[in-house]
Amino acid sequence: MGYVVEIGGPAQLYTRAVPAGATAVGIVRNDSGETGALLRFKSGVYARMNGGTLRPLNRREVLRAMSNALAAR
């Protein structure tokens, strides 16, 4: 499953409160169109948050998508 990441995207559209220990990086969308705030936890885990739902993401795929986003700038 691939992701599309918008670094610095409007994460506040998908969550009002970022969990403790996490930083909002931007927004992330998967192949099926599910979109949410991209969060990075201090442990290095990435997750997508939409409303109150938090879903872990494949770290390798997120880093690849982030690299692609930076290269496109």
| Contact (Cβ atoms closer than 8 angstroms) between residue 65 and residue 5 | yes
- Taking the whole predicted model, whether its pTM rises above 0.85 is answered as yes
Q: Is the pLDDT of residue 1 over 80?
A: no
pLDDT at residue 73, rounded to an integer: 78
Q: pLDDT tens digit string along 10-56?
A: 999 999 899 999 999 999 999 999 999 999 999 999 999 999 899 99
pLDDT category at 72 given cuts 50, 70, 90 is confident
Encoded tokens for 11: 């994460």
Encoded tokens for 19: 């969990």
Dihedral angle, C-alpha 21, 25, 31, 32, nearest 10 °? 60
Between 73 and 24, the higher pLDDT residue: 24
Encoded tokens for 30: 């998967």
